[in-house]
Structure 1
């Protein structure tokens, strides 16, 4: 069942098993605030087991574009359209959040983003391919992020 993420009263519901649950909940709330402010979209997540097609889509893109297989257990996912983009997120137990921004129009921007919760190490599967920039967040503390441009059609 989908759960609307509250960015005013941050909760660890759905991510309690993460060793960085508070930071991951803050990261998830940070994303919810962004989509509410920019697109007036309510960011709702659900257990990954309830929406395997979202996880499969993100996993396929990671695999086919860069040969990446995330080893952490997926906890939650969401998929929606906003501002001409199909968006998908996977929140992993390790504290990693992966998002796909896929422009619906031909020639539109398409990219995969990685965000690391405060307190987690860079996963081995990403360490050799990406450098992570730091940003401060009132909800999530320090977030480290990176991305790559999607070249294929999905």
Structure 2
């Protein structure tokens, strides 16, 4: 069942099994606020098992670009297009959020972003390969993030 993320009243709906559910909900709400303010887009997520094509697309890019496999279970996912950019998000039980930004027309902006919820450790599969910068968020506390540029076609 889809969930239109409310960034004024942060909820853990769909994320309850995460040990950092409150922080992950704040991270999700932070993304929802960004897309509402910048693109007037309502950020809506689905249980990951209801949108396997989105999870598989993100996992395929991770595998083919960096030989990465995420150990944590995906809880929620979403995919949409705004301003000519295909976006996909997967929110994991560990508190990790992965997003793919994939410009459709010109191929200029294509990247994978990682965000870690406040209070979670860096996942083992990412620890040695990425450096994480810190960012403060009223909704999510301290977010640690990193990214890599996508080189292939997906």
Gaps of 5+ in 2: none
Gaps of 5+ in 1: none
The answer to whether structure 1 residue 94 and structure 2 residue 94 are counterparts is: yes
In the alignment, the residues of structure 2 paired with residue 13 and residue 56 of structure 1 have an alpha-carbon distance, to the nearest angstrom, of: 23
* SS of residue in 2 equivalent to 1:56: helix
In the alignment, the residues of structure 2 paired with residue 3 and residue 44 of structure 1 have an alpha-carbon distance, to the nearest angstrom, of: 5
Structure 1 residue ranges (4+ consecutive) displaced by more than 4 angstroms after TM superposition:
none
What is the Cα deviation at residue 48 of structure 1? 0.3
In the alignment, the residues of structure 1 paired with residue 105 and residue 127 of structure 2 have an alpha-carbon distance, to the nearest angstrom, of: 32
* SS of residue in 2 equivalent to 1:8: coil
Q: How does 1:5-154 map to 2 (within 5 A)?
A: 5-154=5-154
Give me the CA root mean square deviation: 0.5
Deviation per CA, 1:104-150: give whole Å up to 9, x if none.
Answer: 01332100000000000000100111000000000000000000000
Deviation per CA, 1:45-93: give whole Å up to 9, x if none.
Answer: 0000000000000000000000000000000000000121000000000
The TM-score with structure 1 as length reference comes to 0.99
The TM-score with structure 2 as length reference comes to 0.99
* SS of residue in 2 equivalent to 1:69: coil
In the alignment, the residues of structure 2 paired with residue 33 and residue 94 of structure 1 have an alpha-carbon distance, to the nearest angstrom, of: 22
In the alignment, the residues of structure 2 paired with residue 116 and residue 89 of structure 1 have an alpha-carbon distance, to the nearest angstrom, of: 13
